[in-house]
Amino acid sequence: MRKIRSFKTMMVNGFISIWRNKGMGLVSIVTIFAVMLIVGILLLAVLNINGFVQTINSSLDKVIVYLNDDTTVEQTDELLFELSEKPEIEMLTYVSKEQAIIKAQDMFSEGSFIQSGLEKNPFPASIIIELKNIDTADQLVETLDADTRVEEIRYYKDLIEKFIQVDRVIKIGGFVAFIVIVTLSIFVISNIIKIAIASRGEEIEIMKYVGASESFIKGPFVIEGLFYSILGSSLSLASVFYIYNKFIEVYERPIYEYVSYQLIEINEIALDIGIIFAAIAIGIGSIGSLTSIKKYLKV
């Protein structure tokens, strides 16, 4: 019962402190709202950029082998069998000359012009090779390059590596920005709580001298910090979801048509982002409160 009464007292004192400092509390909530809004937008941007890079990589991390026109059916079958025996290969797709010209026609609204006036099909047969690990591509390309049945090999290694580098830079930059923003939030909360504590510093010292536990003294300030951070974060989370849904409504189709990338739907990541926001809010509120009251407990 005593612990329950102490907890109730801490809660009451915490909300009294919130009411007394409602002006600074509003500043705190608005600041956390703005900071967490930036965090949310940054997080969604990084997730979509990462998804886009993975989509590009999955479409480029293939080795396309174009066959000589004089390669016979038997030679093609032999090559397909040889490739199927290689453990590093995940999948093989054979595209005949006829399939190649049909694909080319499908890419153009007036595809029939491709065949008009042509005496023979200019498109070569090809084999699309999907690897288990793109790092094994160099050795495979070197082997196929010496094969007389092969006319040309298309492999986008340099482009893939550039995309991977861009993705890495974005992730590192996003992480650094995230740390800076969260640190700023803790600093803001800490200073606002310090203002509240300054007016009650003598009271805290007396409570400490008469035997009040540290947890009893800290409790109201932690509650105050958590209230500001959770409310500010909740408002920013709702705003992030609203803004992102509106962004999807307006830009999803143009983005897909331009770069063939489907934006991540908010329902796919809502729970994860909610958990991240909750963790940050609790961390900001509790750490900011505890760091600001620490010196008053050293009496």
pLDDT < 70 regions, the chain: 1-18, 20-21, 105-119, 189-190, 192-194, 196-201, 203, 212, 295-299
Q: Amino acid letter at 152?
A: E
Reported pTM: 0.66
- Maximum Cα–Cα distance across the chain: 102
pLDDT given at position 30: 85
Look over the chain and give the mean of its residue pLDDT values, rounded to a whole number.
79
pLDDT at 96: 86
pLDDT at residue 257, rounded to an integer: 76
Residues with Cβ within 8 Å of residue 105, at least 6 apart in sequence? 111, 112, 114, 115
50 close to 171: Cβ distance less than 8 angstroms: yes
In this prediction, residue 13 carries a pLDDT of 62
Q: Are the CB atoms for 22 and 228 separated by under 8 Å?
A: no
In order of 54, 138, 280, the CA distances from 273 in angstroms are 20, 39, 10
**Alpha-carbon dihedral sign for residues 108, 112, 113, 117:** positive
Provide the 8-state DSSP code for 297: G
pLDDT score at 124: 87
* pLDDT for the residue 111: 47
Pairing of strands 150-154, 89-95: unpaired
Q: Which of 267, 184, 269 is nearest to 229 (CA)?
A: 184
CA dist 196 and 200 (Å) reads: 7
Question: What pLDDT is attached to residue 296?
Answer: 63
Dihedral, CA of residue 227, residue 229, residue 231 and residue 235, to nearest 10: 180
Amino acid at 57: N
Q: How confident is the model over 207-233, as pLDDT tens digits? A: 777 776 777 777 777 787 788 888 888
User: What pLDDT is stored for residue 3 in this prediction?
Assistant: 60
Residue by residue, DSSP assigns 80-148 as HHHHHT-TTEEEEEEE-HHHHHHHHHHTSTTGGGGTTT-SS--PPPEEEEEES-GGGHHHHHHHHHT-T
Q: Which among 225, 210, 234 is positioned nearest to 294, based on CA atoms?
A: 225
Q: 70-77 — which CB contacts under 8 Å span 24+ positions?
A: 71/125, 71/149, 75/149, 76/125, 76/149
Report the alpha-carbon angle 54-60-64, nearest 5: 155
How far, in Å, CA of 197 to CA of 218, rounded? Answer: 10
Task: Lay out the sheet containing 89-95: strands in order across.
Answer: 89-95, 126-131, 62-67, 150-154
Which structural domains are found in the chain, ordered by start? 2-57+161-297 (no CATH), 62-155 (3.30.70.3040)
Q: Length of the chain in residues, anyone?
A: 299
3-state secondary structure of 69: coil
Position 217: which residue type? I
